[in-house]
Amino acid sequence: MSADARRTRAGRGRSGRAVLLAACGGLLATGCATIPDSGDVQEVRGANPGDSQVRVYAVAPRENANPDDIVDGFLEAMTSDDPGFATARKYLTRQAAENWKPEESITVLATAPDREQADRNADPENQGRTYPISGRTIATVDPRHAYRPKSPENYAQAIHVVQETAADGKDKEWRIDSLPPGLVLGEADFLRNYRSVNKYYFASGEDWLVADPVYIRQRQDPVTRMDPVTQTVKALLEGPTSWLRQAVDAPFPSGMGLQKGVTSLTTDDQSTLRVPLDVKADRFGGEVCRRLAAQLLVTLDDLPSVQIDQVELQDADDKAVCRLGSGQAAEFEAVRDTGQDETPYFVDGEDRMRALTPGGKDAARPAEPVPGPLGKGTVPLGSVAVARDGTRAAAVSKDGGTLYVSSITTEQEELPAVFKSAAAPAAAPEDRLSQPSWDGRGDLWVADRAPGHQRLVVVPDGTGKWIEVRTPWLTEDTRVESLRVSADGVRIALLITRDGRTTLQIGRIERQDGADAQVVSVEGLQAAAPRMESVSAVSWAGPSRLVVVGRESGGVQQIRYLQTDGSTSASSVLPGLNGVNAVAAPYEESEPLIAASGNDGIVRLMPGANWQPVVKTGTAPVYPG
């Protein structure tokens, strides 16, 4: 059986065509197990869904296996790490085995595919049998390893089996001659075999890196035979995913790849990774080589199984072209580590901006008003946002009508307005300006929710002339409830209400130089939490991760981590908290989450702990960004 503990729709268990073993250091306390050479193959139950320590070993079809067992065995073999999927191909006819391309796509179902009984009368001419395969599709993975979530939808395919002359030329065996494209896996099997990795590319025309999440095999890839490090390097060299390509640069030469036959990359005793490339040095020397080395270092830092202190890139003649250390690569990250704790902020019960005590176990220390007019209550505040450098803040007035910018490190009397809502004077705050957000470039974003005048606005540097963002998807029946811009300034998380439902969408920010001013647009909206019926709050939590507050159909409110590509895991659900209306996450995982609850005021969640009350009355918590 697979990690999903499959059942057929009729309630009958499969025949156990795969063997589950725990990897060394995982479930077996005394070391790696050996595969027994005698005895019956037995189903192993109780494995945790998605547990990467569990290994599935495919079992070849037995002699004279019936058609049911052939189909069940193939579905099981698809979940294994078998090199080249050689065992899975033994369930196929010779022609089907040659044509099957498991590397071209993955269809991810909520649970393992259900195999229904065949209609024995459906193929009287060829005396074959057709087995309906069904389930609920929740995502697909394309050849570039990009994960795309879907609102759960019915999956309906079929596997057809026929009798083919066996290799000995005498007997006939049942084999599959028609099957769905690529791999078809239940979510638990997918998460056991694959892991999310952020590739990094440079924001267009800039010197900082943007995360581009993809999925690679947890262990050796069955098709390429590459280990996870080599898979990751290969994926980076293949270029950005189609969704991100319009907003990033890949400065290395087109067609660049690893040297032929490279399937394993390991570090030496000085933690240096040497990467042999298949092009001459004159095509990627100098700054191009240095930037590519930075991309590799930041990308491979996402793999927990390897410690890399420096990367050396080699040309087609195995000569070193450049070498870069992790400290040098850090200068290309969108948010640099300053060594200082990240400070959270909120709006108190008197509509003033306050700073919370960062980090630490002591949650009782009082929150301090920020310097300047935002902390003095010169204008009653509804929401705030803090620039990445922590020196300035933007604030929307309590009535939602006006956006202000002020220093929060020095005293300042004047509070200049940088933008006003187009809503009528009698409009409610929720029909005016959203909470603002700063990107890593120092630009300020806000949504004007005025009925009939809905728009996104960006204020360059927080002080320049505001620019209306091009949003072809923002129609009269669409409303932007809130927004959060990523630190790299390339992606934007939007809570959008349409047809009475609020969903989380990720948009791509594109910038072009216009005749008079820069043209900014948000394109390519894609759902990031399609399985949630409604989403009420969101915050960035690092380069490519979000904290989302929402609920699934028929469920209660939950707080969980999601990747920007919409992927998740069972371990991403955070401790429950009632009545959450806002959440703020730090860029670094070591700092606490901050939330606003209608029941408990401002609360925080330290890593590995439960929610703790901090301030009894407060709203709109934020970290810089």
11 found inside a domain:
no
pLDDT recorded at residue 396: 97
- Assess whether pLDDT exceeds 80 at residue 395: yes
Q: Among 593, 540, 620, 599, which residue's Cα sits nearest to residue 363?
A: 593
- Assess whether pLDDT exceeds 70 at residue 87: yes
Whether residues 350 and 326 fall in one domain: no
Confidence of residue 44 (pLDDT cuts 50, 70, 90): very low
H/E run at residue 94: helix 94-99
Whether residues 383 and 317 fall in one domain: no
Task: Taking residues 274-297, report their average pLDDT.
Answer: 92
- Assess whether pLDDT exceeds 60 at residue 436: yes
580 found inside a domain:
yes
**Last residue of some domain: 188, 207, 233?**
188
- Assess whether pLDDT exceeds 70 at residue 207: yes
Whether residues 64 and 157 fall in one domain: yes
DSSP 155-175: EEEEEEEEEEE-TTSSSEEEE
5 found inside a domain:
no
Whether residues 614 and 538 fall in one domain: yes
H/E run at residue 457: strand 455-459
Residues making up the chain, counted from first to last: 625
Amino acid residing at 211: A
Rg (the chain; Cα; Å): 27
338 found inside a domain:
no
How many other CB atoms sit within 10 Å of the CB of residue 361?
7
- Assess whether pLDDT exceeds 70 at residue 614: yes
**Last residue of some domain: 126, 157, 188?**
188
CATH number of the CATH domain containing 542: 2.120.10.30
pLDDT recorded at residue 125: 62
Percentage with pLDDT > 90 across the chain: 68
- Assess whether pLDDT exceeds 90 at residue 43: no
- Assess whether pLDDT exceeds 80 at residue 249: yes
Percentage with pLDDT > 70 across the chain: 88
pLDDT recorded at residue 361: 54
How many other CB atoms sit within 10 Å of the CB of residue 576?
12
Whether residues 23 and 111 fall in one domain: yes
Confidence of residue 281 (pLDDT cuts 50, 70, 90): confident
Confidence of residue 338 (pLDDT cuts 50, 70, 90): low
Confidence of residue 45 (pLDDT cuts 50, 70, 90): very low
Whether residues 478 and 516 fall in one domain: yes
- Assess whether pLDDT exceeds 60 at residue 204: yes
Task: Taking residues 3-17, report their average pLDDT.
Answer: 35
pLDDT recorded at residue 21: 44
User: 588 near 342, Cβ under 8 Å?
Assistant: yes
- Assess whether pLDDT exceeds 90 at residue 112: yes
CA distance 135 to 143: 22
pLDDT recorded at residue 47: 38
- Assess whether pLDDT exceeds 90 at residue 554: no
Q: Give pLDDT tens digits for 178-188.
A: 999 999 999 99
- Assess whether pLDDT exceeds 80 at residue 514: no
Whether residues 377 and 520 fall in one domain: yes
Q: Give pLDDT tens digits for 26-36.
A: 333 333 333 33
Q: Report the range of poorest mean pLDDT among 298-307, 346-355, 416-425.
A: 298-307
Domain that holds residue 287: 194-332
pLDDT recorded at residue 17: 44
Total domains in the fold of the chain: 3
**Last residue of some domain: 164, 188, 212?**
188
Q: Give pLDDT tens digits for 148-165.
A: 999 899 999 999 999 988
183 found inside a domain:
yes
Whether residues 483 and 608 fall in one domain: yes
Whether residues 519 and 615 fall in one domain: yes
How many other CB atoms sit within 10 Å of the CB of residue 195?
20
CA distance 479 to 477: 7
Whether residues 39 and 55 fall in one domain: yes
User: 621 near 585, Cβ under 8 Å?
Assistant: no
Rounded to 10 degrees, what is the CA torsion of 530, 531, 532, 535? -20
pLDDT recorded at residue 282: 87
Whether residues 396 and 443 fall in one domain: yes
119 found inside a domain:
yes
- Assess whether pLDDT exceeds 90 at residue 443: yes
> Helix, strand, or coil here: 263?
coil
Whether residues 57 and 131 fall in one domain: yes
- Assess whether pLDDT exceeds 50 at residue 597: yes
Q: Are strands 310-314 and 272-276 parallel, antiparallel or unpaired?
A: parallel
Q: Report the range of poorest mean pLDDT among 2-6, 425-429, 478-482, 572-576.
A: 2-6
Instruction: Tell me what the pLDDT averaged over the chain comes to.
Output: 87
479 found inside a domain:
yes
340 found inside a domain:
no
- Assess whether pLDDT exceeds 80 at residue 515: no
